[in-house]
Chains A and B, each alone.
Chain A
Amino acid sequence: MRSNAAEYDLIAPGTLDGVLSAMAEHPGALTPLAGGTELMVALGAGRLLQKSFVSLGGLKELRFLDDSNPEVLRIGAGTTFTDLRRSEVIAREFPLIAQTASWTGSLANQNRGTLGGNIANASPAADTPPALLAYDAAVELISVRGVRTLPYSEFHLGYKKTALVADELVFAVRLPRRFAGYTQWVRKVGTRNAQAISKIAIAGLTRVEDGLLYDIRLGAASLRDRPVRLTAVEAALEGRATTDETIRAARAALVGEVAPIDDIRSTAKYRVAVAQNLVEEFLRSV
């Protein structure tokens, strides 16, 4: 334990309004802490630079799964990965999210980690964002000024940079409920079978009509400085059938639109090659 906990402060207003007011008072002075599965690791490692925190723990206003609207499912930012795994509507309509939630850390960390915290942390290796991108998610961001919504694809601005302004919180993730009948696929490649940070992860959705792929959407982790849609690959496949030729084209398109790195877990060349293989595996499974 490399930090002195006495040097840190955490307030817990207990309501969402209370939290937002506190954050608005001195924008940027307070860092939200939800499940703690990222921030507390930094604390233990002596790398937590912020000193003042506001707790999102136990906020009922953030922990919900609202399926009342037949067109949009809203997932509260305080929903834990365990909640996601246990949700029937998610299992039925957004199975990729049930899958990726099950790959996120360990059970103990899934019980605490939240969807909002995960996307706000903005690791390019996070497991669920590729599925969110494939599902065309949107995010609701909330502050004392109200709620604004933007496409999730516009939420990540760069490496660990998000569109959140200083006094804003992720409020909810919105998922369009239009993927019934789509072929859905996701695979994560990690350093081991459980408790692994991804080397690459790809989520894929497509509608198949007469053997042709429509509305094909591919989300990827660990291939750029943020989770991305593989739009060039999608373009190479849209309206086409799965053939050796289209697979070749898809593989080639992928190379141009990713920029993975060598890091402590894996190498750029490996990531590109395996990403290509994953895309091919998805296509052949369709």
Chain B
Amino acid sequence: MMTKIFKTLLFSVLLLLVSCKTQQDSKTPRWLDDIQYDSKLDKKDFVVCDEDEVYQYFNLGNAIHYHGDKPVLINSILENYDSTKVKKESGLIRIRFIVNCHGETDRFRIMQSDLNYKEKVFDKNITNQLMAITKTLDGWGQKYKDDGTSVDYWQFLNFKIVEGKIVKILP
């Protein structure tokens, strides 16, 4: 009986908390996986045109919206990545960033795991190369709303690395 009362009470409190959450706490990201500005990592002059409405990569068009399409993007990465000077490590590396309404990029963040999705830290020669190459990619296209306004959007690249080599670039 007591357990039932406790569960009902917990349910009511949680409902109340959820209702209260409709008032946004400015310190809490509004969207899942948002990346906040970090003065130590990010360009001071990078403009996010509408911080409250950064779209996801799959909104408003193709998954990869790049000048020359995905083959050109892949070539740009593979031509500049040198697998001969890295450790033969394997896993997944995600680099996520914002493409702003002008088609410029910043707020790059990296995530790493082994091939079993367990967090790990790769050889710096791998991650530094990938980060540097990703930062130089300058063919990202602008995305537009129906009214013609260009928007900011989150983009990511997932690199599958096997023994130091890039075997797949997704999505």
Do A and B form a real pair? no
Q: Which residues of A contact B (CB under 8 A)?
A: none
